[in-house]
């Protein structure tokens, strides 16, 4: 177990940047693998494979998964919300550009901060309120300024917004007492365990399950389940355990910016001034929302 550090060092900054890059590249992979598998079916297969990887990790750590009755209800709920989040995200990346989907989805801190204010007692400070306004404005700008191109659609944008809602609700349940007591790794196990059958069962409602599968689509699926879902999330948890949580959370501003750049470089997606402005607003909002409150030192 690494000792808790009071501030971010070079190793932490490198690790956080690497994970942000992985999460942005993850959206490129989803869009690519969607060409071989129907999006919701792909999400279900990913969760199903991830069950094994997360289980193996927990066993290796000497903490094999244990499902108890007290966590059954919250566990089913968090898994269902996880399924909804990725249904929307995978559909969004099938219907709109990587950059647009990422910018809109990363408005999530706005929705979570509102939920936390009313349900968790985490008050919205003036600085956080400015961050919320910026993140919300970025989301609005992205949705209302769609270019007349084939890689941007209102349906895709709304699915990305639905993914942001699902992510916020998942995070909210994770912060409630029962799920918080389970720990982050068991939360992840509940998410993939419950979401896998839900996604696979509802997938036929969204069309044929198989499109034009190539070997590299299967490689992308395995990469998603192992490196992204299990490896990336667990690495993020480790960083959260070592460095200040607000500092780690603030680095999520890099993901939509990097996704915007990768979408342009790999898919030739148009980066309009309005979308760049939306990304900047969302990124600035994330930083302010996660900024630690300034403590007032009592007079001597």
- Kindly state the average pLDDT of the residues 238-261: 78
Per-domain residue ranges of the chain: 10-106+151-270
In the predicted model, what is the mean pLDDT of residues 127-145?
89
Q: How far is CA 271 from CA 228, 277, 300, in A?
A: 26, 10, 54
- Count other C-beta atoms under 10 Å from residue 35's C-beta: 15
Mean pLDDT value of segment 28-37: 95
More confident residue, 122 or 199: 199
**CA-to-CA distance for 188 and 77, rounded, in angstroms?**
13
Please say if the pLDDT value at position 85 is more than 90.
Answer: yes
For residue range 187-239, what is the model confidence (pLDDT) as tens digits?
999 999 999 999 999 999 999 999 999 999 999 999 999 999 888 877 877 77
Predicted pLDDT of residue 128: 85
pLDDT at 293: 60
pLDDT of residue 221: 95
Q: How far is the C-alpha of 154 from the C-alpha of 147, rounded, in Å?
A: 11
Band (300; pLDDT cuts 50, 70, 90)? very low
Q: Any idea of the CA torsion for 154, 83, 181, 225, to the nearest 10 degrees?
A: -110
Mean pLDDT for the chain overall: 87
Specify the DSSP element, H or E, that contains 18: helix 10-33
- Give the confidence band of 299 by pLDDT, cuts at 50, 70, 90: very low
User: pLDDT: is 265 or 8 the higher one?
Assistant: 265
Cα dihedral across residues 47, 53, 57, 59: positive or negative: positive
| Chain centroid to CA 46 | 15
């Amino acid at each position: 177990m690494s000792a808790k550090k009071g501030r971010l060092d070079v190793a932490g900054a490198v690790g956080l940047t690497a994970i942000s890059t992985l999460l942005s590249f993850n959206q490129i992979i989803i869009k690519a693998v969607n060409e071989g598998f129907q999006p919701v079916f792909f999400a279900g297969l990913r969760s199903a494979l991830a069950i094994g990887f997360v289980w193996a990790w927990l066993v290796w750590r000497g903490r094999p998964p244990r499902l108890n009755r007290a966590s059954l209800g919250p566990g089913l709920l968090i898994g269902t919300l996880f399924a909804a989040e990725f249904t929307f995200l995978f559909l969004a990346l099938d219907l709109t550009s990587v950059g647009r989907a990422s910018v809109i989805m990363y408005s999530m801190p706005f929705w979570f901060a509102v939920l936390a204010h009313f349900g968790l007692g985490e008050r919205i400070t003036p600085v956080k309120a400015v961050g919320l306004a910026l993140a919300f404005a970025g989301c609005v700008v992205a949705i209302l300024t769609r270019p007349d191109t084939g890689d941007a659609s209102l349906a895709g944008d709304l699915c990305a917004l639905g993914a942001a809602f699902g992510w916020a609700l998942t995070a909210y349940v994770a912060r409630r007492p029962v799920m918080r007591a389970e720990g982050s790794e068991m939360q992840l196990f509940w998410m993939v365990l419950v979401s896998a059958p839900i996604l696979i069962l509802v997938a036929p409602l969204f069309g044929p399950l198989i499109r034009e599968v190539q070997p590299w689509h299967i490689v992308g699926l395995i990469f998603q389940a192992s490196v992204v879902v299990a490896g990336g999330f667990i690495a993020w948890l480790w960083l959260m355990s070592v460095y200040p949580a607000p500092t780690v959370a603030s680095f999520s501003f890099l993901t939509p910016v990097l996704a915007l750049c990768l979408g342009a470089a790999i898919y030739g997606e148009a980066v309009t001034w309005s979308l760049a402005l939306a990304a900047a607003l969302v990124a600035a909002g994330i930083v302010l929302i996660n900024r630690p409150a300034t403590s007032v030192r009592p007079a001597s």
